[in-house]
Structure 1
């Protein structure tokens, strides 16, 4: 287990114990990454902020029963953010809010966010087809590692190991991109 995963495990335990400072620590650690991810899912600054806020609220509410397959918190947060984005899209489609056009060309904030996320798509594209499919199943479609393993005919351990390697590769790209 790497240092980051151990830190996530400790952070998750603190959250489960109801430590408010743990939520602040989680926010400081993951809000920038979640915000970049949310820009790929939403079309306005307000929607992005709502997705990030809802994701951390869900983390706080579910911290007591959180069971992370790899003790890494970021994949769980990304899936929760994506699920909130789907719910947000459904609300927009039902007329609960003003509909947003699917493509917003010429909007500097959206165009900038898409450009900044290009490296994520590029990094995922360099993965093996199996690893790309695992990312798709677990991060985009919300399947558990066990479900992804069953779909792909792999063991849960193999999926976990592949996710860990892919996560490390993406993390390295993120750290390089941010510094």
Structure 2
């Protein structure tokens, strides 16, 4: 590794002093890597571009207080990139939730949540026995499909297919019935 401002540490110190050329060199060095990483986290090109830009903006804003744990700024940039991607995902989830019909929106109080959970459990209880048990194990109790398959003596494919079918059935009931 070279010395002076060609090292990541030197570039970060230069960025902290307002050197936009140093930021450009860090960008040239790591933008492709961050872009590939962002594509692994999100599916939309505009989100990828925004996440990468926000990552370098965060470097610009925090360079003065940044302590590099290694000889490279890349691990820090990857963590920042991941955090921006997660924030993008949360924003999109909130937007989708805001667009849901009122009867499908997240409950606003405990009584409403209890009623919704009771209704979902009633719908699961009405499923055929094997499907009901699979839903209880996988969707309510958190077992993996493989664990549920072993417990019930089924193949993982059969469990996957039954969960998918049950989800479609429950979704159909939810979207056609206002509970």
Match of 2:95 in 1: 95
Are 1:71 and 2:65 an aligned pair?
A: no
The Cα shift of 1:71 comes to 3.2
The TM-score, its normalising length taken from structure 2, stands at 0.50
Equivalent pair of 1:92/1:98 in contact (CA under 8 Å) = no
Match of 1:18 in 2: 18
Are 1:7 and 2:11 an aligned pair?
A: no
How many angstroms apart in 1 are the aligned matches of 2:24 and 2:37?
19
The one of the two structures with greater contact order (alpha-carbon pairs below 8 A, sep at least 6) is: 1
The Cα shift of 1:16 comes to 1.3
Q: 1:72 aligns to what SS in structure 2? A: coil
Count of matched residue pairs:
98
The Cα shift of 1:12 comes to 1.1
Q: 1:89 aligns to what SS in structure 2? A: helix
The Cα shift of 1:97 comes to 9.7
Match of 2:140 in 1: none
What are the equivalent positions in structure 2 for 1:18-37 lying under 5 Å apart? 18-37=18-37
The Cα shift of 1:18 comes to 1.1
What are the equivalent positions in structure 2 for 1:53-64 lying under 5 Å apart? 53-64=53-64
- Greater Rg over alpha carbons, structure: 2
For structure 2, which runs of at least 5 residues remain unmatched after alignment?
100-179
Q: 2:95 aligns to what SS in structure 1? A: coil
For structure 1, which runs of at least 5 residues remain unmatched after alignment?
100-179
